[in-house]
Amino acid sequence: MDVQQVEKAYQKQSAVVYNAKKGSKAKKRYVKSVGLGFKTPREASEGAYIDKKCPFTGNVTIRGRVFTGVVRK
């Protein structure tokens, strides 16, 4: 991957097998659709960042955590 490593540990996505047998030259990237009317951003699918707490590329769910409301004051 074309990820700029700035941490001492190797940054990788937990759902991607990096040591797979030779085959596809496609970029290895785990991206999911979170649903609830939210579209996956292009930066998440084509970007090179790795964030385990991102709802689009990490292992975080947003079900039951999205609130809508009106600010009254």
| E strand or H helix at 45 | helix 42-46
pTM across the whole model:
0.61
CA dist., res. 38 & res. 9, Å (int): 32
State the pLDDT at residue 15: 77
Residue ranges of the chain whose pLDDT lies below 70: 1-5
State the pLDDT at residue 3: 58
Residues 6+ apart with CB under 8 A from 51: 57, 58
CA dist., res. 63 & res. 49, Å (int): 23
From the list 46, 65, 54, 62, the residue with the least C-alpha distance to 15 is: 54
